[in-house]
A and B are shown apart, each in its own frame.
Chain A
Amino acid sequence: MANQVPLVSYLVLNNEPHLVAHECVRCGARYFDRRNACAACFGTEFRDADVATEGEVRAFTIVSRAAPGIEVPFVSAVVDCDGTSVRANIINTPPDPEHVSLGMKVRLATYSMGKDENGTEAIGFGFEPAA
């Protein structure tokens, strides 16, 4: 795994890949970006909190027009992972309204984005149907 790097720093790559949030110590608000302070309570202390790897699609769209270089159509969604909302693509299923629906159960999945010139492989994530 030494030659792997996650697409974003909040994706943890180990035997059970998962997302990790910065959780406000004072109020429990969760964030995925580097924080200066908490937008909810203004606290400045955070701890790492593992995010559930299974969830439910709360909102989605099937994007047909995007910037050059982005493969379309793809499904962008908000997944409710046991109370923590996550933005992600829905993958490993056809991107159409017959295969993606509101309330569908999904689970985290990772995929290879390829290797850079140093041989390091980037790993992306999405959510796939939890059939």
Chain B
Amino acid sequence: MSAMDEIWILGIHMTKFGKHPDKDLVDLGVSAIHGALADGGVTMADVGVLAVGSTRGGGGMGQQLQKQVGQTGIPVYNVTNACATGATALRTAIMAVKADEADVGLAVGVEKLAGAGLLAGADRKEDSEVWEPSGRYGAVAEVDGRIGTATMPGVFAQIGMEYGHRYGGTSFELFAKISEKNHFHSTLNPLAAYTKAMSAEEIMNDVMIAYPNTRPMCSANCDGAAAAVVVNGAKLKTLSKGQQRRAVKVSASILTTDPWEEACQILPNVNTLTRNAANQAYEQSGVGPEDLDLVELHDCFATAELVHYDNLMLCEEGGAPDFFNSGATWRDGQLPVNVSGGLQSKGHPIAATGIANIWEVCQHLRDEGKQRQIEGAKVGLAHVIGLGSACGVHVLEKAAA
């Protein structure tokens, strides 16, 4: 692989996740951009391509940000891919740099969701006066609640339960313990929206949303932004030793969608596309799951984290409950997962998530993780999934010297 083909993260930044009532989307996006540019030691004059994700920002968020940080005339790609939006923005910038259309790319994800409640299935049209078929199912009335649930906590609850049905070993308590781990991890992350440790018992006794997911087992809606500056290897060689030392190598950047399988249009299949992305990422990077020092995976619900241990091949097929019960995924375990606190406590400002998880891995690979540093971390993996579906997996490696 030539230096031109290599992709490096030169600078990366995430804002504090949580409530930012005094800031709008542009303010948050600008904070992330300024942070990432400063971290990388470059300015907007160096950037040749911009990719921006915001699922609720309306159109043209990229241009709105340019109008505040620098209108340099470069191409902007406004992207959305549900919860994989941030990873898609990053992947878009990486593709442009890989195609040699630019040697410096900037990717941004920004969202304001504090207090948003249920994102899907939050409201339902009233039944009409006359039963009249409409839509692709010829439905005479709203089907949410009558033919299953449209809510994300319910969809992902079923995904976790399906895993339990297939392989066994799951229970309400097991899912609660996964959440307990992530809430414990969050106590060391000052940028997390929630930083309170909770016992499995407290978690189980909290408000039930969709069994077995109680409120603390659901991703936390919040505001936040994250941005990353990527460069190719040739560009990196022209930069300072300090920039080269802190640069993090993107050994794999993968985006997949779900291939058709029986039942995938009945209950989203988040497994196959994640497994496909992981396989491609391991092949592209030459890194195997046994080489990973930490993983940030898409724990949008406690039930989701369990299935992704298996999908990312961190454990044997069907072995996710045993893998978790061994303590492997706690921060002092064999393969720490979601040391940031994960989406359940760090929070999930949707479009920012797919870059913020990469920021977290970079902190450790740069040995800048402070109180939550995973000692000696050299290789990490970041995973997101957006329902519909799209899955992003990035494998990241510490600079050689």
Q: 1/0 per position for A80-101, CB-CB distance to B under 8 A?
A: 0001111111000000010000
Residue among A31, A62, A69, A76 with most chain B CB within 10 A: A76
Contact B147 A116 (CB under 8 A): no
Q: Kindly specify which of B18-26, B38-46, B137-145, B338-346 makes contact with the partner chain.
A: B137-145
Contacts A59-B158, A67-B144, A68-B123 aside, 11 further interface pairs with beta carbons under 8 A come to: A9-B133, A32-B137, A34-B136, A39-B265, A63-B149, A64-B210, A76-B148, A77-B148, A89-B146, A89-B147, A117-B129
Contacts of B211-232 to chain A: CB distance below 8 A = 211-213
Which residues of B lie under 8 Å from residue A97 when comparing CB positions? 172, 211
Neighbour of B145 across the interface among A9, A39, A74, A77, CB < 8 A: A74
CA of A117 to CA of B131, assembled, Å: 9
Contact B130 A118 (CB under 8 A): yes
CA of A66 to CA of B121, assembled, Å: 7
CA of A60 to CA of B263, assembled, Å: 14
Contact B148 A64 (CB under 8 A): no
Min distance, Cβ B167 to any Cβ of chain A, angstroms: 11
Known: A7-B139, A117-B129, A117-B130. A60 touches B158 (CB 8 A): yes
Contact B123 A67 (CB under 8 A): yes
Contact B122 A61 (CB under 8 A): no
Contact A40 B260 (CB under 8 A): yes
Could you show 27 A-B contacts with beta carbons less than 8 Å apart?
A: A5-B133, A8-B143, A9-B133, A9-B139, A33-B136, A39-B265, A61-B157, A61-B210, A62-B210, A63-B210, A63-B211, A64-B207, A65-B118, A66-B121, A67-B145, A70-B124, A71-B145, A78-B158, A78-B162, A85-B267, A88-B147, A89-B145, A89-B148, A113-B131, A113-B141, A120-B130, A122-B140
Q: 1/0 per position for A38-62, CB-CB distance to B under 8 A?
A: 0110000000000000000111111
CA of A92 to CA of B272, assembled, Å: 34
Contact B265 A31 (CB under 8 A): yes
CA of A61 to CA of B143, assembled, Å: 16
Neighbour of A87 across the interface among B130, B133, B148, B164, CB < 8 A: B148
| Chain A CB within 8 A of B153 CB | yes
| Chain A CB within 8 A of B234 CB | no
CA of A69 to CA of B260, assembled, Å: 33
The 8 A-B pairs of least Cβ separation, nearest first, read A9-B138, A70-B145, A61-B157, A85-B263, A59-B162, A62-B211, A76-B148, A76-B149
A residues near B (Cβ < 8 Å) are: 5-10, 29-34, 39-40, 57-71, 73-74, 76-78, 83-89, 97, 102-103, 113, 116-118, 120-122, 124-125
Contact A29 B260 (CB under 8 A): yes
Known: A58-B165, A68-B123. A8 touches B267 (CB 8 A): no
Contact B124 A69 (CB under 8 A): yes
Known: A61-B211, A76-B158. A70 touches B144 (CB 8 A): yes
CA of A125 to CA of B146, assembled, Å: 8
Which residues of A lie under 8 Å from residue B131 when comparing CB positions? 5, 113, 116, 120-122
Contact B161 A102 (CB under 8 A): yes
Which residues of A lie under 8 Å from residue B121 when comparing CB positions? 66-67
CA of A78 to CA of B149, assembled, Å: 11
> Which residue on chain A has the smallest CB distance to residue B133?
A9
| Chain A CB within 8 A of B290 CB | no
Contact B118 A64 (CB under 8 A): no
CA of A80 to CA of B208, assembled, Å: 26
CA of A5 to CA of B140, assembled, Å: 8
Min distance, Cβ A108 to any Cβ of chain B, angstroms: 12
Neighbour of B139 across the interface among A8, A86, A102, A125, CB < 8 A: A8
| Chain A CB within 8 A of B289 CB | no
Q: 1/0 per position for B245-274, CB-CB distance to A under 8 A?
A: 000000000000000101101110000000
Neighbour of A69 across the interface among B126, B151, B209, CB < 8 A: B126
Contact B147 A7 (CB under 8 A): yes
Neighbour of A122 across the interface among B141, B145, B154, B208, CB < 8 A: B141
Contact A59 B165 (CB under 8 A): yes
Residue among A39, A63, A83, A86 with most chain B CB within 10 A: A63
Which residues of A lie under 8 Å from residue B159 when comparing CB positions? 59
Contact B209 A64 (CB under 8 A): yes
Min distance, Cβ A29 to any Cβ of chain B, angstroms: 7
Contact B141 A87 (CB under 8 A): no
Contact B151 A86 (CB under 8 A): no
Q: 1/0 per position for B297-314, CB-CB distance to A under 8 A?
A: 000000000000000000
Contact A60 B267 (CB under 8 A): no
Contact A61 B137 (CB under 8 A): no
Contact A6 B140 (CB under 8 A): yes
Which residues of B lie under 8 Å from residue A9 when comparing CB positions? 133, 137-139
Min distance, Cβ A47 to any Cβ of chain B, angstroms: 17
Which residues of A lie under 8 Å from residue B210 when comparing CB positions? 61-65, 76
